[in-house]
Amino acid sequence: MSPGFFSRTIGGVAQMFGKAPVKPTPADMTPEMVELLAFKKSPEERKRRKAAIMEERAHDAVSNAWRYRRWISILLVNGLFVASYWADLQLIEGALTASRVVGFHFADLNSSLQLMLAHGHVVLNLVIGVSTVFLIYVIVGGRAFCSWVCPYHLVSEIAEKLHLKLAEKKFVKDHPLDRRLRPVLFVIFAVLAFASGYTLFETISPVGILSRALTYGTLVGLIWIALLLLVEIFWSRRFWCRYVCPIGLTYGMAGTIAPVRILHVAENCFHEGKCRDVCLVPHVLEMTKLGYGRETATPIGPDCTRCAMCIDVCPTGALRFDIKGLSRAPEAAE
């Protein structure tokens, strides 16, 4: 493996734990990237790119293809739990935190950690369930659970759209928090589970609350969900997912070196920032800023949710899904 792979991996994990992205120097860039950057900063190329951006904005047509695919995935996965329970099929039992699917055990990584810390022992079925899920995310990578499975992500995405509409009209203002809050809370919840003997995080996790509400009809916890959504609409955009939830952190760590990723092709990029505007975790797209990329083709880091909204809004195909070792080499736009 190349030195670039190790530096990307370490940098991606550091970003996931709250480190701010750093603009690279030419010494940090590959020779190809230095050459490309010099070309993009030339007066002729700046002029051409500016004209292309103006033309693109005049005929702005944003795709929602990946958004709708994700929504279908979330509704399908959670709908299968509901249908299996109410039809008494016993094909899919449990909820997203722990389940058995046609005999195979699945267990959420963070929920399992909380349970083992609280009870002080390991259950075999839990080990099997964790191993199964861990292997899936070693392949799929990133925080794919968040955007393709989590029911709270769907309602939070709708809340975000309301927040952005209100912000556009100057009715609300976003209050970003320090991203290092999330790993701190991860440790706090783990210590509390170990010290108290209770999985305290599970009592406030909107993922488990919504999953159980949909499947079993337990509606009391929806009051907490409503309060969280109000916070996200009127105070801090994507408050829970960006700054609190440790579930995405555990999945991100599991999928750090996964072969499935989103790839940024610098040669095709306009660097106008539409991708960062829609991204749940815009720090992972720092390389899309002019002069911030280290390589001409850069995989997005493990904190990426694989939501692909950046792909939907990218006008040049500079962002795309990629499978390491299988996808063909990036091609420049005409």
Q: Region 182-201: what's the mean pLDDT?
A: 93
pLDDT at 333: 45
Please indicate, yes or no, whether the overall pTM of this predicted structure exceeds 0.75: yes
Q: Is the domain of 278 the same as that of 129? A: no
Q: Region 61-80: what's the mean pLDDT?
A: 92
Q: Region 69-94: what's the mean pLDDT?
A: 90
pLDDT at 255: 83
Of 230, 253, 276, the residue that ends a domain is: 253
pLDDT at 276: 95
Domain-located, residue 317: yes
pLDDT tens digits along 167-184? 999 999 999 999 999 999
Calpha distance 152→221 (Å, rounded): 13
Q: Is the domain of 186 the same as that of 223? A: yes
pLDDT at 312: 94
Percent with pLDDT over 90 in the chain: 60
Domain-located, residue 331: no
Q: Are 308 and 327 in contact (CB under 8 A)?
A: no
Q: Is the domain of 72 the same as that of 200? A: yes
Domain-located, residue 332: no
Query: Strand pairing partners for 105?
Result: 100
Calpha distance 1→10 (Å, rounded): 14
Does residue 7 come out as left (phi exceeding 0), alpha (psi in the -120 to 50 range) or beta?
alpha
Domains in the chain: how many in total? 2
pLDDT at 2 over 80: no
pLDDT tens digits along 204-228? 999 989 988 888 877 788 999 999 9
pLDDT at 275: 94
pLDDT at 48 over 90: yes
Handedness of CA 310, 246, 244, 286 (dihedral sign): negative
Q: Is the domain of 217 the same as that of 73? A: yes
Q: Is the domain of 243 the same as that of 148? A: yes
Domain-located, residue 328: no
pLDDT at 298 over 50: yes
Closest-CA residue to 204 (of 232, 228, 234, 178): 228
Q: Region 12-16: what's the mean pLDDT?
A: 89
Query: What's the distance, CA 80 to chain centroid?
Result: 23
Of 253, 269, 301, the residue that ends a domain is: 253
**33 or 331: which carries more pLDDT confidence?**
33
Residue 299 burial by CB count (10 A; 0-12/13-18/19+): exposed, middle or buried?
A: buried
Q: How many other CB atoms are found less than 10 A from the CB of residue 197?
A: 12
Total residues found in the chain within this entry: 334
Q: Is the domain of 230 the same as that of 173? A: yes
Domain-located, residue 329: no
Mean pLDDT over the full length of the chain:
89
Least confident of 52-61, 222-231, 309-318: 52-61
pLDDT tens digits along 225-267? 999 999 999 999 999 999 999 988 898 888 888 899 999 999 9
Calpha distance 238→175 (Å, rounded): 10
Domain-located, residue 113: yes
pLDDT at 72 over 90: yes
Q: Are 301 and 12 in contact (CB under 8 A)?
A: yes
Domain-located, residue 333: no
Question: What would the DSSP string read from start to end of 211-275?
Answer: HHHHHH---TTHHHHHHHHHHHHHTSTTHIIIII-SHHHHHHHHTTT-SEEEEEEGGG-----HH
Q: Is the domain of 203 the same as that of 285? A: no
pLDDT at 57: 81
pLDDT at 268: 94
Q: Which amino acid is at 202?
A: E
Does residue 94 come out as left (phi exceeding 0), alpha (psi in the -120 to 50 range) or beta?
left
Of 237, 253, 269, the residue that ends a domain is: 253
Calpha distance 281→109 (Å, rounded): 21
Q: Is the domain of 35 the same as that of 165? A: no
Q: Region 37-57: what's the mean pLDDT?
A: 92
Q: Are 18 and 303 in contact (CB under 8 A)?
A: no
Domain that includes residue 303, residue range = 3-61+259-323
Q: Is the domain of 155 the same as that of 78? A: yes
Q: Is the domain of 84 the same as that of 175? A: yes
Q: Is the domain of 178 the same as that of 218? A: yes
Domain-located, residue 334: no
pLDDT at 334: 42
Q: Is the domain of 51 the same as that of 106? A: no
pLDDT tens digits along 96-135? 888 888 888 899 999 899 988 998 888 788 888 999 999 9
